[in-house]
Amino acid sequence: MRPTIGITTYGPEGERSSFSLPRYYTDAVAAAGGMPVLLVSGAVPIEEVLESVDGLIVAGGGDIDPESYGGDGHDTIYSVNPTRDSFEMAILRRALEQPELPVLGICRGMQVMNIVLGGDLEPHLPDVYGQSVLHRLPPREPTTHDVRADRDGLFGEIFDDAEFPVCSWHHQAVRALGSGLRATAHAPDGVIEGVVFDDHPFALGVQWHPEMQAANDPRQRRLFDALVARARTRRRA
């Protein structure tokens, strides 16, 4: 059987308190041999959610409430959803305590991982790093830039190349690293683009959107392949 990969979702939002997720995530997981399962806040206790999945992806989306990490507000912050923030922080805390459960944070998901481990965020990158590298296009559209990744540890196992193009769609990023996190990839302007939690066998985050590239870029597919392979080992155990 395919290992089940739980993916957090956008929401609840709107009059119907709807949850949603771009299909890039589910397509990438399915192509890697996993069974994507959408996770929603409040429906089931977190302990039961984690018992039902073999791997976890914390997805991208809107900004995290700066009050959750003692950060400053900014007029560019958008789509704040405290219910989602609370759910993802709680499930990540528990997931990182389970060494057999592989964990991947994507964009916002990497930021949640950093906050859970005591780090914080730059509220708006252009204010600090300028415009030498565009991490999104106005008003809020994706773009592409290169990243350089470490060749040791998980990133060295997953990515064959030290430098490669990524799909970027964010205006915030890690400022101070959380406890136990190690920066493993950077944009040309110095923004942290990848992290690994060294106290866990497979817990990493990427600031870019590999799910949007996975269908056409084998380098990005390898990230999902690696996650599903670890999840398959957990399922067999």
pLDDT digits (tens, 9 = 90+) for 144-153: 999 999 998 9
pLDDT score at 237:
82
Q: 3-state class of 184 per DSSP?
A: strand
pLDDT score at 138:
94
pLDDT score at 70:
94
pLDDT digits (tens, 9 = 90+) for 187-229: 999 999 999 999 999 999 999 999 999 999 999 999 999 999 9
pTM of the predicted model over 0.95: yes
pLDDT digits (tens, 9 = 90+) for 65-102: 999 999 989 999 999 999 999 999 999 999 999 999 99
Mean pLDDT, the chain, as a whole number? 97
Domains, the chain, with CATH or none: 4-236 (3.40.50.880)
Please list, residue by residue across 176-204, b when 16 or more beta carbons sit within 10 angstroms of its beta carbon and e when fewer do: ebbeebbebbbbeeebbbbbbbeebebbb
Q: Which residues are catalytic?
A: 107, 209, 211
pLDDT score at 100:
96
Please list, residue by residue across 110-137, b when 16 or more beta carbons sit within 10 angstroms of its beta carbon and e when fewer do: bbbbbbbbebbbbbbbeeebeeebebee
> Is residue 54 within 8 Å of residue 231, measured between CB atoms?
yes
